[in-house]
């Protein structure tokens, strides 16, 4: 039946039996955002003239990179057999760095579309997201996307869905780009996804799913109502922070904001309550009425543990407060971001931040520059090392400046992770070689059946030091597998390792921003590479500039930027050689005097630091 909604027909939002809450989970680039666009189009969520690509990707960084960073919700209406249904869709990120967003989004759902690229098959993040959905006891609906591509292998990937994912249902076949099979997906959601439980007559209980800062409205909260209902002018209380607010207005995202008279059980919508203080809200908190006697909160979100750390400093120290405000707003929008105050003599006051991966770090940096117009310096990314001191006390450090003296250290331990790598069988050799280079220890190998020899795949299970995979492992894996390799990792434990602090000195002065901690056998090659990178990036002066890498007092690598030399003998046409020698000696004394005056004043531009931090080649 056509999905034309009569303007005169009153839409009943409050009946939970007509609500379907579902998420789209998949590996990166399998078409989640494109499928979301088609669902919005087929449900007539926006006028045809307003349709655009990546409707739910609202951040500039998402549009520029072509990836979803932030989970987004949209409420759609669809008529099937004369019945009006409300479909609450949550589009989730696919990259491993944003798996926390996926986990949080699934809390608001009863079902999940498992989207798989028919030309690539089951990938590492597909499996990881399936486990997250199973933990939340969601109904899984498999969907094969890009079935219109000549390289698609529908039968082979369908077998993987059955054998690898353990889903017995026959996958739906769609092309999110052309719209093929989208109606069938909507019908299957209505048919299979359970309606949310809840009673409008019970006391209010709502889960705080997400939040973001609006410069005009303050903090906007995305909530899922479990029991009772939310109405304008209602006094609500956050159970964790005990903060009390009065709701100004509320509604759903269609994807535009649409105000409603109330939000009932099972509904996912926004509330605006004049919230100005970021510390008053906590994602995963339970929302109840101000005078409610409820003492047991809803099951919230598992606290996320950052794995990559770096320090962020404003280029101009006067921008410190602006940077603090920007990071506070980003922290509300991104609950996985860790922010702490720090101070470094050479860089001043700044913030030590924790991220879920290197892409997460780059996205935050890009948002600081684009959304808040801030110029920042970021130190070299590192992981958190565990140090046992001689007095048996334990400290955690992530920067050489925090390291105690060597004679006070009993042992240093680094974090390890378990990793699952999914590749085509033909790339097994090169991938195992890469793993060996990264100090990986093999746990096992599993083979996946395909329709033909070229589609046979395998899962390599390894243990890795976290520090060896956060930088360029993803890029190298994609390179040697021609883009088809993928991986997923989880925390394992700390193990003792020979970790040393490597400091970089430019003209005898430490550059704290690019100091790092590294495995001892890799320290020399890393030091040589950094020195060479800085030599190529720094400008020449009228005196030679030494660039050194050092472990303590031992220099392990050195490059020298040669001095600029003015030809002071250019005007000497003939005459005694002593005249030329006198001019050259005078120049030499002048350069020596200049070097003494300029000692420690060689500026290391941000461009040179960023080149090292990004490991550009």
Q: What is the mean pLDDT of residues 332-357?
A: 79
pLDDT value of position 209:
84
138-156: b or e for each residue (b if 16 or more CB lie within 10 Å)?
bebbbbbbbbeeeebbeeb
- Residues making up the binding site for GTP: 29-34, 145-148
Cis before 255 (ω within 30): yes
The tens digit of pLDDT for each residue in 21-36 reads 998 888 878 888 888 8
- Is 550 a residue whose pLDDT tops 90? yes
pLDDT value of position 283:
77
Whole-number average pLDDT of the chain: 81
Half-sphere exposure of 523 (CA within 13 A, CB side): 22
Does the pTM exceed 0.85?
Answer: no
- Which of 4-13, 65-74, 125-134 holds the top average pLDDT? 125-134
- Is 67 a residue whose pLDDT tops 50? no
Q: Measuring CA to CA, which residue among 247, 248, 249, 246 is closest to residue 258? A: 249
**β-bridge pairing 486-496 and 409-424:** antiparallel
The tens digit of pLDDT for each residue in 376-403 reads 887 777 788 999 999 989 998 878 888 8
Q: How far is CA 85 from CA 156, 270, 330, in A?
A: 34, 19, 34
For the chain, give percent helix, strand, coil, nearest 5: 30, 30, 40
Strand partners, 341: 351
pLDDT value of position 588:
74
Q: What is the mean pLDDT of residues 53-68?
A: 48
Sign of CA dihedral 562, 568, 574, 576: negative
- Is 354 a residue whose pLDDT tops 90? no
- Which is more confident, 10 or 149? 149
- Is 443 a residue whose pLDDT tops 60? yes
Strand ranges in 408-456 using DSSP code E only, listed in sequence order:
409-424, 441-448
Percent of the chain past pLDDT 90, that is, above it, reads 25
Say whether 602 sits in a helix, a strand or coil: coil
DSSP 460-489: EEEEEEGGGTSSSHHHHHHHHTTT--EEEE
Domains of the chain: 16-192 (3.40.50.300), 205-289 (2.40.30.10), 308-378 (3.30.70.870), 408-496 (3.30.70.240), 503-613 (3.30.70.2570)
φ, ψ (nearest 5 deg) of residue 436: -65, -40
- Residues making up the binding site: 29-34, 145-148
- Is 13 a residue whose pLDDT tops 60? no
- Is 121 a residue whose pLDDT tops 60? yes
């Amino acid at each position: 039946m056509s999905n034309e909604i009569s303007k005169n027909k009153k839409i009943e939002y409050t009946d939970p039996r007509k609500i379907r809450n579902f998420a789209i989970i998949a590996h990166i680039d399998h078409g989640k955002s494109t499928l979301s666009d088609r669902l919005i189009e087929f449900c007539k969520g926006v006028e045809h003239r307003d349709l655009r690509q990546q409707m739910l990707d609202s951040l500039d960084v998402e549009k520029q990179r072509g990836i979803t960073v932030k989970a987004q919700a949209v409420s759609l209406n669809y008529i099937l057999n004369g019945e009006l249904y409300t479909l609450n869709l949550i589009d989730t990120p696919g990259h491993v760095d944003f798996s926390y967003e996926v986990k949080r989004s699934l809390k608001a759902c009863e079902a999940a579309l498992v989207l798989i690229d028919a030309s690539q098959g089951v990938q590492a993040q597909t499996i990881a997201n399936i486990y997250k959905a199973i933990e939340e006891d969601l109904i899984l609906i498999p969907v094969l996307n890009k079935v219109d591509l000549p390289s698609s292998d529908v039968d082979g990937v369908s077998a993987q869905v059955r054998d690898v994912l353990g889903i017995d249902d026959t996958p739906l076949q769609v092309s999110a780009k052309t719209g093929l099979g989208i109606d069938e997906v909507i019908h299957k959601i209505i048919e299979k996804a359970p309606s949310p439980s809840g009673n409008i007559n019970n006391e209010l209980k709502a889960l705080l799913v997400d939040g973001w800062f609006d410069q005009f409205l303050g903090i906007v909260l995305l909530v899922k109502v479990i029991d009772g209902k939310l109405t304008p002018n209602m006094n609500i209380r956050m159970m964790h922070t005990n903060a009390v607010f009065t709701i100004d207005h509320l509604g759903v995202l269609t994807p535009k904001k649409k105000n409603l008279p109330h939000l009932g059980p099972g509904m996912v919508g926004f509330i605006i309550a004049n919230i100005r203080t970021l510390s008053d809200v906590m994602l995963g908190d339970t929302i109840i009425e101000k005078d409610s006697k409820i003492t047991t909160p809803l099951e919230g979100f598992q606290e996320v543990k950052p794995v990559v750390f770096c320090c962020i400093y404003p280029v101009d120290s006067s921008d410190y407060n602006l940077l603090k405000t920007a990071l506070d707003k980003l922290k509300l929008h991104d609950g996985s971001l860790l922010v702490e105050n720090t101070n470094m003599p050479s860089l001043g006051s700044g913030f030590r931040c924790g991220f879920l991966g290197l892409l997460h770090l780059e996205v935050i940096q890009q948002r600081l520059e684009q959304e808040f117009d801030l110029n920042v310096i970021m130190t070299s990314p590192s992981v958190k090392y565990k140090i046992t001191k001689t007095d048996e006390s334990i400290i955690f450090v992530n920067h050489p400046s925090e390291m105690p003296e060597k004679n006070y250290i009993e042992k240093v331990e680094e974090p390890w992770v378990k990793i699952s790598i999914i590749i085509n069988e033909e790339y097994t050799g090169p991938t195992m070689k890469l793993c060996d280079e990264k100090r990986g220890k093999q746990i096992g190998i599993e083979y996946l059946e395909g329709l033909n020899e070229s589609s046979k795949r395998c899962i390599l299970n390894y243990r890795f030091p976290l520090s060896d995979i956060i930088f360029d492992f993803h890029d190298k894996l994609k390179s040697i597998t021609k883009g088809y390799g993928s991986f997923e990792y989880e925390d394992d434990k700390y193990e003792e390792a020979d970790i040393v602090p490597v400091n970089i000195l430019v003209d005898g002065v430490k550059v704290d921003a690019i100091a790092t901690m590294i495995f001892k056998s890799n320290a020399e090659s890393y030091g040589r590479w950094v020195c060479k990178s800085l030599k190529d990036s720094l400008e020449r002066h009228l005196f030679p500039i030494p660039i050194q890498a050092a472990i303590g007092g031992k220099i392990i690598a050195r490059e020298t930027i040669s001095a600029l030399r003015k030809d002071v003998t250019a005007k000497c046409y003939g005459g005694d050689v002593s005249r030329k020698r006198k001019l050259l000696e005078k120049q030499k004394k002048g350069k020596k005097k200049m070097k003494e005056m300029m000692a420690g004043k060689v500026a290391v531009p941000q461009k040179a630091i960023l080149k090292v931090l990004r490991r550009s080649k």
